[in-house]
């Protein structure tokens, strides 16, 4: 069995050094194949090096730990086991209950050697179990996907905003009035959202995070980190041999990919 390899993503230098030191003491066989200080680098290095484990800070520059996992799930190759996850966090309000009974783990800051020892033992058992059986990557991914969905924080208890009925999009010197019901899908591009209808596409300066609370969640479904589709315009969902789902729309030739984390929306009733 090859030495286990881990990637560590922590933006606080002192905490990063402390975690490195403790891991070296508690688990000298473990190799830290990469140490980064932001979420973007964590995604890049993880896809490049494919470590066995990820130690991820929940809040760090670029992408949060949860966003790192979400984005890795979209791009992780199916022929490779998804890394075991350990979140390192100072915020236990949703991480602790979500992971308390789970195989993956969390470590609260400041890192405690006794608690980290438990994490190490848990990881060793998981790695041994993984090595003892034929890898079932699809099942591992499904488990992580289910856990990640549980980790998405519930919307704060606030009055529901009024549903958006019309979108105003500037096109040159003209303001185009777009009925939300006519929108086929929204596609986020940097600081803008591309609003696509059957007749045209229009850019508005907004983000999906700002837009989503104003849409009817029963009709508009997020299917990708950058795409929200009007479900009333979906013709069919096609799954290829690799398990990737693509949507066909009724009034468009566009094919919309569905990321793994949202694939459960298209299970047969």
pTM of the predicted protein model: 0.67
DSSP code at position 216: -
In the predicted structure, residue 53 carries a pLDDT above the cut 50: yes
pLDDT in tens, 227-238: 999 999 999 999
Which pLDDT band, with edges at 50, 70 and 90, does 205 fall under? very high
Q: How wide is the angle at C-alpha 52 spanned by C-alphas 47 and 55, nearest 5°? A: 85
Please give the share of the chain, as a percent, with pLDDT higher than 70.
Answer: 83
38 Ramachandran zone, left/alpha/beta (phi>0; psi -120 to 50): beta
Q: What tokens does 109 get?
A: 């800051």
If you average pLDDT over residues 42-58, what whole number do you get? 93
Helices (H) and strands (E) counted in the chain, each on its own, are 7, 15
Cα–Cα dist 143/238, whole Å:
22
Among 174, 177, 194, CA closest to 185:
194
- Residue 221 is predicted with a pLDDT of 95
- Residue 154 is predicted with a pLDDT of 46
């Amino acid at each position: 069995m090859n030495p286990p390899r881990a990637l560590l993503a922590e933006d606080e230098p002192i905490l990063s050094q402390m975690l490195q030191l403790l891991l070296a003491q508690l688990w000298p066989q473990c190799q830290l194949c990469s140490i980064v200080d932001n979420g973007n680098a964590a995604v890049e290095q993880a896809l490049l090096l494919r470590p066995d484990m990820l130690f991820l800070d929940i809040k760090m520059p670029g992408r949060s730990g949860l966003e790192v996992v979400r984005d890795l799930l979209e791009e992780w190759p199916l022929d490779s086991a998804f890394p075991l996850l350990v979140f390192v966090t100072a915020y236990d309000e949703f991480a602790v209950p979500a992971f308390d009974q789970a195989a993956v783990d969390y470590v609260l800051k400041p890192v405690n050697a006794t608690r980290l020892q438990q994490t190490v033992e848990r990881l060793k058992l998981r790695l041994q179990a993984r090595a003892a059986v034929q890898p079932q990557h699809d099942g591992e991914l499904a488990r992580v996907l289910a856990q990640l969905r549980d980790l998405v924080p519930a919307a704060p208890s606030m009055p529901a905003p009024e549903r958006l009925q019309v979108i105003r999009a500037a096109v040159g010197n003209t303001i185009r009035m777009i009925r939300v019901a006519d929108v086929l899908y929204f596609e986020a591009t940097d600081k803008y959202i591309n609003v696509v209808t059957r007749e045209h596409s229009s850019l508005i300066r907004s983000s999906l995070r700002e837009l989503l609370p104003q849409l009817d969640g029963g009709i508009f479904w997020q299917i990708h980190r950058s795409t929200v589709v009007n479900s009333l315009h979906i013709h069919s969902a096609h799954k290829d041999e690799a398990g990737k789902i693509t949507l066909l729309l009724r009034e468009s030739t566009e094919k919309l990919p569905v990321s793994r984390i949202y694939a459960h929306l298209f299970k047969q009733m």
